[in-house]
Structure 1
Amino acid sequence: MSGSAAGGDAHVERRSRLPRDLHPGAWWLWALGLAATATATTNPVLLLGVVAVACLTVGLRRSDHPWSGSFRLYLLFGLVIVVVRLVLRVLLGGGVGSTVLLDLPAVPLPGWVAGVTLLGPVTLESLLAGLYDGLRLAALVICVGAANALANPKRLLRSMPPALHEVGTAVVVAVALLPQLADSLRRVRAARALRGVPGGRVRRLRGVVVPVLEDALERSMALAAGMDARGYGRSGSLGRGRRATTGALLLLGLCGICVGSYAWLDQTAPRWLVVPGMLGGVALAALGLWSAGRRVQRTRYRPDRWHAEEAGVALAGLGSAVALRLLVDEPVLHPLVTGAPGISDAAVLAVLLGLAAAVVAPPPVLATDGERADRRTSPGRREAARAGAA
Structure 2
Amino acid sequence: MAARSVTALHPGAWWLWSIGLGTAATRTTNPLLLALLVTASAYVVATHRGAAPWARSYGAFAKLALAVLLIRLTFAVVLGSPVPGTHVLVTLPEVPLPHWAQGIRLGGEVTAEGVLFAVYDGLKLATLLICVGAANALANPARLLKSLPGALYETGVAVVVALTFAPNLIADVQRLRAARRLRGRPDRGVRGLLQVGLPVLEGALERSVALAAAMDARGYGRTADVPARIRRTTAALTLGGLLGVCAGTYGLLTAEGGTYGLPVLLVSVAAALAGLRLGGRRTLRTRYRPDAWDARAWLVAASGAAVAALLTLASVSDPDALRPGVVPLTAPQLPLWPAAAILLALLPAFVVPVSPVPVPVVPKESS
Q: TM-score, normalised on structure 1?
A: 0.86
Maintained 8 Å contact 1:28/1:151 = yes
Number of aligned pairs? Answer: 358
Maintained 8 Å contact 1:234/1:296 = yes
Distance 1:347 1:123 in 2: 30
Mapped pair 1:333 → 2:318:
no
Given candidates 345, 351, 354, the residue that maps to 1:354 is 345
Query: Kindly tell me: are residues 269 and 204 of structure 1, through their superposed partners in 2, closer, same or farther at Cα, counting changes over 3 Å?
Result: closer
Distance 2:219 2:11 in 1: 22
Who is 2:192 aligned against? Answer: 204
Larger radius of gyration: 1
Maintained 8 Å contact 1:70/1:179 = yes
Distance 2:220 2:306 in 1: 35
Question: Which ranges of structure 2 fall in alignment gaps of 5 or more residues?
Answer: none
Given candidates 22, 35, 57, the residue that maps to 1:35 is 22
Greater shift in the superposed pair: 178-187 or 318-327: 178-187
Maintained 8 Å contact 1:35/1:143 = yes
Q: CA deviation at 1:365?
A: 5.6
State the SS of the aligned residue for 2:347.
Answer: helix
Who is 1:376 aligned against? Answer: 361
Distance 1:356 1:259 in 2: 35
State the one-letter code of the partner of 1:26.
A
Given candidates 317, 336, 355, the residue that maps to 1:364 is 355
Mapped pair 1:261 → 2:249:
yes
Who is 1:167 aligned against? Answer: 155
Maintained 8 Å contact 2:241/2:268 = yes
Mapped pair 1:176 → 2:164:
yes
State the SS of the aligned residue for 1:186.
Answer: helix
Who is 2:208 aligned against? Answer: 220
Query: Kindly tell me: are residues 21 and 189 of structure 1, through their superposed partners in 2, closer, same or farther at Cα, counting changes over 3 Å?
Result: farther
Maintained 8 Å contact 2:180/2:186 = no
Query: Kindly tell me: are residues 336 and 290 of structure 1, through their superposed partners in 2, closer, same or farther at Cα, counting changes over 3 Å?
Result: same
CA offsets 1:126-166 (integer angstroms, 9 cap, x no match): 11111111111111111111111111111111121111111
Q: CA deviation at 1:113?
A: 3.0
Mapped pair 1:52 → 2:39:
yes
Distance 1:365 1:156 in 2: 22
Q: Of Structure 1 and Structure 2, which has the larger fraction of its residues in helix?
A: 1
Maintained 8 Å contact 1:331/1:342 = no
Query: Kindly tell me: are residues 91 and 221 of structure 1, through their superposed partners in 2, closer, same or farther at Cα, counting changes over 3 Å?
Result: farther
State the SS of the aligned residue for 1:67.
Answer: helix
Maintained 8 Å contact 2:181/2:187 = no
Who is 1:293 aligned against? Answer: 280
Given candidates 294, 308, 313, the residue that maps to 2:300 is 313
Q: TM-score, normalised on structure 2?
A: 0.91
Given candidates 216, 240, 252, the residue that maps to 2:240 is 252
Greater shift in the superposed pair: 210-219 or 353-362: 210-219
1:105-254 to structure 2, matched below 5 A, reads: 105-194=93-182, 196-199=183-186, 201-202=188-189, 203-254=191-242
State the SS of the aligned residue for 2:109.
Answer: strand
State the SS of the aligned residue for 1:122.
Answer: strand
Distance 1:348 1:270 in 2: 29
Mapped pair 1:22 → 2:13:
no
Q: CA deviation at 1:94?
A: 3.8
Query: Kindly tell me: are residues 201 and 183 of structure 1, through their superposed partners in 2, closer, same or farther at Cα, counting changes over 3 Å?
Result: closer
Moved beyond 4 Å, runs of 4+ = none
CA offsets 1:192-226 (integer angstroms, 9 cap, x no match): 344x2333732433332332233233223322332
Question: Which ranges of structure 1 fall in alignment gaps of 5 or more residues?
Answer: 1-16
Q: CA deviation at 1:118?
A: 1.3
State the one-letter code of the partner of 1:332.
A
